[in-house]
Amino acid sequence: SKHFRTPEFIARLKEHDPNALQQLAKTYSCELLRAAYGLGFNESSAVDLIQNVWQTFLSILSRFEGRSHIRTFLFGILYK
């Protein structure tokens, strides 16, 4: 979503605004989960992997500069 690229939205994420984080998780969690299944993870392992993606995202969010789309950033975390 274009909305996720706005400096205002990124600032809200960096402030750990619960509504912004919830919007992002609602938008991308299923997509990330499907990708984890595509990598061969079973349901339990895939859910754990996605939780780790979100934890990593939150821990490195301060370094996100907005040059790539947040989706790209999330999938970069998933595939590492």
Cα–Cα separations (whole angstroms), residue 59 to 30, 38, 78: 21, 25, 14
**Angstrom distance (rounded) from CA 54 to CA 59:** 9
47-72: per-residue pLDDT in tens?
999 999 999 999 999 999 888 899 99
Handedness of CA 43, 49, 52, 54 (dihedral sign): negative
3-41: per-residue pLDDT in tens?
898 999 999 999 999 999 999 999 999 999 999 999 999
User: Which residue bears the tokens 């939205």?
Assistant: 9
